[in-house]
Chains A and B, each alone.
Chain A
Amino acid sequence: MSQDTLNFIFIGITFALYIGIAVRSRAASTQEYYTAGGDVSPFANGMATAADWMSAATFISMAGTVAISGYDASRFLMGWTGGFVLLTVLMVPYLRKFGKATVPDFVGDRYYSKLARGVAVVCAIFICMTYIMGQMRGVGVVFSQLFGIGIPFGVLIGAAIVFAYAGLGGMKGITYTQVAQYCVMAFAYTIPAIYIAMALTGNVIPQLGLISDYTASEPIVPFLQKLNNINLELGFQEYTSGKMSTINMFCITAALRGISSGRAIKP
């Protein structure tokens, strides 16, 4: 069987799975549409949020960016994950206790103001648009690579599929398809990482591999030193030393945190 047929089969199965889940968990009421009826377990919800975080950008380019820019890429690591702390501590508990599904609802009721609600809606749309543009572009790139079609067509196909399952299932459908996505992505991420870590450092846990020794060939050196050498040979800066100024790192990390917490506003 050719590579293309395999691709089509796998993609077909995945999408059939997502749409199947969406059809099964169709929303019955408005409340259910927005909040999944409140009966999604915290565990499933966590997996859905994680899938949301591991978006197109993470999947396609994050590993490469970190490999090339080393310490400088810490701004992505700390920025995106750090935003979630802000979100969890400052926003989500209140939204939950207030019993509202979306931030504009919450802001409007909390401040007794239609205007505040309007501002929140405009912010939400703005954030969604910028976010979705990047995401859909990513979807388009993936589809165009797989099917050998133009990126615009890839975007259209992706949009149609997302529309099908989001429109049908509401929050419940989205949550459970994201749980499925989480399982697929976590699997796809960890297998190569563990394999590479075992091959290069003899350590099963990649995180520990990074800070231990490179053992694949003589001489045995600390793995980070090996990475530094490789990056230098390829013409990038050393992995452990950044070339970005401290103030730059600080501000970009802060901005990424803002983006990360802003993402929650998307309805």
Chain B
Amino acid sequence: MEVDHPRAHRRACLKITLCLLTVWFSISFGAGILFRDWLDAHVPSVGSAPFGFWMAQQGSIIGFVLILIVYAVLMNRLDRKHGYSEES
């Protein structure tokens, strides 16, 4: 069966982007700001830092870096699968 490459690529691309942006929102705005107090009280501390506070100061930034790495890996794989990689 013929694969509709542009459409499939676009759809997969949107899915990756939306998933990662959801993670992005929840670790920073979610964990660091909106649910900070709840997390401080109910989740075990990181070292001596309450969890919500730690997410705001360090955790979210570490998370951002991971998001970018995951994005790069997934998108490269997707581009290769649909024949859009830069080498070809």
A21–B33 Cα distance when bound, in Å, is: 43
Question: Is the beta-carbon distance between B57 and A249 smaller than 8 angstroms?
Answer: no
**In the complex, which residues 1-33 of chain B have their Cβ closer than 8 Å to any Cβ of chain A?**
17, 20-21, 24, 28-29, 32-33
Please give the distance in Å from A35's CB to the nearest CB on chain B. 15
Residues of B within 8 A of A131 (CB): none
Q: Decide if A258 is an interface residue (CB 8 Å cutoff).
A: no
B17 and A81: CB pair below 8 A?
A: no
Asked whether A211 lies within 8 Å of B71 as measured between CB atoms, the reply is: no
Q: Which of A81, A89, A93, A246 contacts B20 (CB 8 A)?
A: A89
B49 touches A78 (CB 8 A): no
CB-CB under 8 A from B53, the residues of chain A are: 71, 240
Q: Is there contact, CB below 8 Å, between B64 and A246?
A: no
- Using a CB-CB cutoff of 8 Å, which residues 215-238 of chain A contact chain B? 222-225
Contact partner of A246 among B24, B34, B50, B61, CB < 8 A? B34
What are 27 inter-chain pairs, A to B, with CB distance below 8 A?
Answer: A71-B53, A77-B60, A82-B64, A84-B64, A85-B68, A88-B68, A88-B71, A89-B17, A89-B21, A89-B24, A89-B71, A93-B75, A210-B47, A210-B58, A211-B48, A211-B58, A213-B48, A222-B47, A223-B48, A224-B48, A224-B49, A225-B48, A240-B53, A246-B36, A250-B29, A253-B28, A253-B29
**Closest residue to B65 on the A side, CB-wise?**
A81
Chain B residue total in the interface (Cβ 8 A): 28
Whether A74 contacts B32 by the Cβ 8 Å rule is yes
B46 part of interface (Cβ distance < 8 Å): yes
How far, in Å, is B73 (CB) from chain A's closest CB? Answer: 13
Chain A residue contacts of B47, Cβ below 8 A:
208, 210-212, 222
Tell me if B39 counts as interface (CB < 8 A to partner A): no
A residues within 8 A CB of B28?
A: 78, 82, 253
Chain B residues within an 8 Å CB radius of A211? 46-49, 54, 58
Interface centre among A90, A97, A211, A253 (most CB of B within 10 A): A211
Closest beta carbon of chain B to A55's beta carbon, Å: 17
- Residues of chain A within 8 A (CB-CB) of B64 are 81-82, 84-85
Task: Enumerate chain A interface residues (CB-CB to B < 8 A).
Answer: 71, 74, 77-78, 81-82, 84-86, 88-90, 93, 97, 207-208, 210-213, 222-225, 240, 246, 249-250, 253-254
In the bound complex, residues from chain A placing their C-beta under 8 Å from that of B48 are 211-213, 222-225
In the complex, the answer to whether A250 meets B67 with C-beta atoms within 8 Å is no
Known: A211-B46, A211-B48. A71 touches B34 (CB 8 A): no
Which B residues lie within 8 Å of A90 (CB)?
Answer: 17
| C-alpha gap A224/B53 in the complex (Å) | 11
Instruction: Name the A residues within 8 Å of B71 (CB-CB).
Output: 88-89
Distance, CA A88 to CA B70, complexed state (A) = 12
B9 to chain A, nearest CB (A): 11
B17–A78 contact, CB under 8 A?
A: no
Contacts of B68 in A (CB 8 A): 84-85, 88
* Contact A77 B49, CB 8 Å, known A93-B75, A246-B33, A249-B33: no
Answer whether A74 and B56 are a contact pair too, CB < 8 Å, given A89-B71, A253-B29: yes
